[in-house]
Structure 1
Amino acid sequence: MSIANQVLAVNDDLPIRTNKPVHSGKVRSVYWLTEEDSRRLIKQKGYDVAEDAPLAIMVISDRISAFDCIWHGEGGLKGVPGKGAALNAISNHWFQLFKDNHLADSHILDIPHPFVWIVQKAKPVMIEAICRQYITGSMWRAYEKGERNFCGIALPEGLGKDKILPELLITPSTKGILKGIPNVPEADDVNVSRNDIEANFQAFNFSSAKDIPHYEKLLKEGFKVISDALDSVDQIFVDTKFEFGYVNDAAGNEKLIYMDEVGTPDSSRIWDKKEYQAGNIVENSKEGFRQFLLNYFPDPDILLNKNRMDERFALAKENTLPQEEIMKISQTYLSIAEKITGKKIVLSDDPKQEIIDILKKDYDLIV
């Protein structure tokens, strides 16, 4: 069994019954179920959602995206072994912890397989809800250049690279391209202030202005739950991105929930605490892979400069990365997942066939 066979790189070609196009993102693919199958599963499985709620099968892949590109390695490696299973296991662990701590629910209703979630359709809030406990990455680069106002927050003088911030900061950015909002450029992933969101809450898909402090509360509470848990396994939760959306429960009440993934090495920076205390930054997240790419290519500006996207896409397409680097990032994902969950991540020999078998046998969703 070659390593390449253990990687689920293509996840939008499964024979799942659907009457809509499969939506494939950088890492996950979404299959919207037919109305009949959604209703049947809600009834059969007793999901706490409205009886006519649209459901989807969300299948994660092992693809690795960085700087808006998908990367591949030698030996036919189209992804990182174990990455998908590690990401889902970590998210599942945090969502359960949120539930145990009486925070909000998530969009996940069921987990048939380590690569698969059954989710309910949510109305997404068009904000990448970013929370920062340390100054690093893009925020440090901006600060170093003299910027002192970040998402409407005034930063004090004298902050140091990779050092803890005076307080936990919420620095939201746009999710997708939003049009016609004053002061907000029509581009993906641009920083916005709380004032921008309050003045245009409907354009950001909030149902009510009262939900803005509520999302901030859920963001801070979720951050603290994960940060405390990581601290107990000698890890530092540096920063992260959450996403939120609205769903209706079985009684028809609208509620704000956590969406997508939370607290994973893809959506967060996680540092080794003992190394940090010794003055070293050891990344237990995708940031390590980003740093490798910046050092690997002679002109890192291609990866950082949004005006050079064509060159960047060509770089990712034409360059096969060393297998040892792909396996290093695999080890990062697997070991942080095992630290967090306390369980070993077992790699499947044929993840795609396993998914098909279980969705056929237990859910009757395969054509």
Structure 2
Amino acid sequence: MSLAQSVMAVNNDLPIRTGAPVHSGKVRSVYWLTADDSARLVSERSYDVPADAPLAIMVISDRISAFDCIWQGEGGMAGVPGKGAALNAISNHWFECFRQQGLADSHILEIPHPLVWIVQKARPVMIEAIARQYITGSMWRSYANGEREFCGIQIPDGLEKDQKLPELLITPSTKGILEGIPGVPAVDDVNITRADIERNFEAFNLRSAADVDLYEKLLTEGFNLISAKLAALDQIFVDTKFEFGYVTDKAGNEKLIYMDEVGTPDSSRIWDGPAQREGRVVENSKEGFRQLLLNHFSDPDILLNKDRMPERIALAADNELPADVLMQVSATYTGIAEKIVGQPIEISANPKAEIISVLRDEFGLIE
């Protein structure tokens, strides 16, 4: 089987028995199970959730998005070999580290396959929880243009590109379009301040004002844990995005948890330590792919200018990237994953067949 065939490009067509339409995002597809199957698995697998908790099968793909577009490669390679398995392996590792250190649980109940999670339905906090340890990327571009206030926080003059910040900076933005919040524009991914959240915590789906402190505590502790463990691997945790939500356990206790993914090359910037000491930035994250795209096309403004989105969409649809570009990205993802988890990332020759087999034979979820 070719590498192109081993790529999990389409992940919303598996014959999993569902009770609702499949929700397919840029990378993951979510199969909401029927009430009967959810209750059966809760009982059979002894999950720490209420007997009637809604469950889902979450299947990751190898698709790669950047600049709000999905990119394809030559020869039918509609994704990056090993990317999905690398992302899941990294998230699984960090979620387990968080649990071991007593930080918080995640939405994951079981991992039946490297590309699959069984998850409990969470009530998401409508905040993209972003933490930054270095000034780079969009923040640097704004700083270079004279901005000194970010999400209500004043930043000192005199910083240089890619410099470490005086302290960890929390710069949240909205998750989705939130309407009716004073001073917060009703657009997706708009920067907000801590004061915005404190004044309107219910609008962001936080249960109490005290949970503003709790989400920041979990964000900071999670960031610091990952940063320390990456430093031991001579890698630098530059910035990241966490997401949070609420779930209820079997005893009826509501708790704030980590959800989505954490500390991955898709949600974070990770720099190579040896290169940084030589004055070079080598990205072990999706930022490297973004830079490849900016260098690959003759008019990079199409990728950076949101006013040119129709051109950008056409650019992604009409251009197959060279296979060696996607293999370079594959090496980045699998390489940093193997450093983090301490073992090879295996690329399945036929991921769909494997997933169908395990969900049929062990979980009874295939039609």
1:141 alignment counterpart? 141
Report how far residue 19 of structure 1 moved: 2.1
* 1:151-230 paired onto structure 2 within 5 Å: 151-230=151-230
For each residue in 1:206-243, what CA deviation from the matched residue of structure 2 results, as whole angstroms up to 9, or x when unmatched? 11111001000000000011001101111000000000
CA distance in 2, matches of 1:19, 1:48: 22
User: What SS class does the counterpart of residue 75 from structure 1 fall into?
Assistant: helix
1:312, distance to aligned residue in structure 2 (A) = 1.1
CA distance in 2, matches of 1:309, 1:227: 35
Residues 22-61 of structure 1 correspond to what in structure 2 (within 5 A)?
22-61=22-61
Q: Which amino acid aligns with 2:140?
A: W
Corresponding residue number in structure 2 for 1:270? 270
In structure 2, C-alpha distance between the alignment counterparts of 1:159 and 1:362, rounded to whole Å = 55
Q: Secondary structure at the match of 1:214?
A: helix
Runs of 4+ in 1 over 4 A off after TM superposition: none
Cα distance, 1:311 vs structure 2: 1.2
Residue matched to 1:317: 317
Once residues 182 and 144 of structure 1 are traced to their aligned partners in structure 2, the CA distance between those partners, rounded to angstroms, is 29
1:293 maps to 2:296: no
Query: Any stretches of 5+ residues in structure 2 without a counterpart?
Result: none
Which residue of structure 2 lines up, in the alignment, with residue 150 of structure 1?
150
SS in 2 for 1:138: helix
Deviation at 1:185, TM superposition (A): 1.3
Q: Name the aligned partner's letter for residue 358 of structure 1.
A: V
| Helix, strand or coil at the partner of 1:292 | helix
Map 1:55-134 → 2, pairs under 5 A: 55-134=55-134
Extract unaligned runs of 5+ from structure 1: none
Deviates more, 1:121-130 or 1:200-209: 200-209
Q: Equivalent residues in 2 for 1:344-359 (5 A)? A: 344-359=344-359
CA shift for structure 1 position 298: 1.6
Superposed CA offset, 1:186-210 (max 9, x none): 1111110101111111111111111
The whole-number CA distance in structure 1 between the counterparts of 2:207 and 2:10 is 36
Letter of the 2:341 partner, please give it: T
Q: Which amino acid aligns with 2:363?
A: Y
Which residue does 1:335 correspond to in 2? 335
Query: Could you say which residue in structure 2 is the equivalent of 1:245?
Result: 245
CA distance in 1, matches of 2:298, 2:200: 43
Q: Look up the SS of the partner of 1:119 in the other structure.
A: strand
Please report how far the alpha carbon of residue 304 of structure 1 lies from its aligned counterpart in structure 2 after TM superposition. Answer: 1.3
Shift of 1:50: 0.9
Return the offset for 1:99.
Answer: 0.7
After TM superposition, give the deviation of residue 182 of structure 1 in Å: 1.4
Rounded to whole Å, the distance in 2 between the matches of 1:262 and 1:160 is 28
Query: Counterparts of 1:313 and 1:127 in 2: how far apart (Å)?
Result: 27
Q: Distance in 2 between matches of 1:310 and 1:24?
A: 22
Measured after TM superposition, the shift of residue 339 of structure 1 is: 0.3
- Cα distance in 1 for partners of 2:330, 2:85 equals 11
More deviation, 295-304/82-91: 295-304
Shift of 1:184: 1.1
Task: Tell me how far apart the structure 1 counterparts of residues 19 and 35 of structure 2 sit (CA, whole Å).
Answer: 9
SS at match of 1:255: strand
SS of the residue 2:76 aligns to: coil
Q: Which amino acid aligns with 1:263?
A: G
**In structure 1, distance between residues paired with 2:182 and 2:69:** 30
* Contact kept? 2:127, 2:174, Cα under 8 Å: yes
Amino acid at match of 1:129: A
Q: How big is the shift at 1:297?
A: 1.3
Counterpart contact for 2:90–2:264, Cα < 8 Å: yes
For 1:90 and 1:123, locate their aligned partners in 2 and report how far apart those are by CA, in whole Å: 23
Q: How many residues align?
A: 367
TM-score by length of 1: 0.99
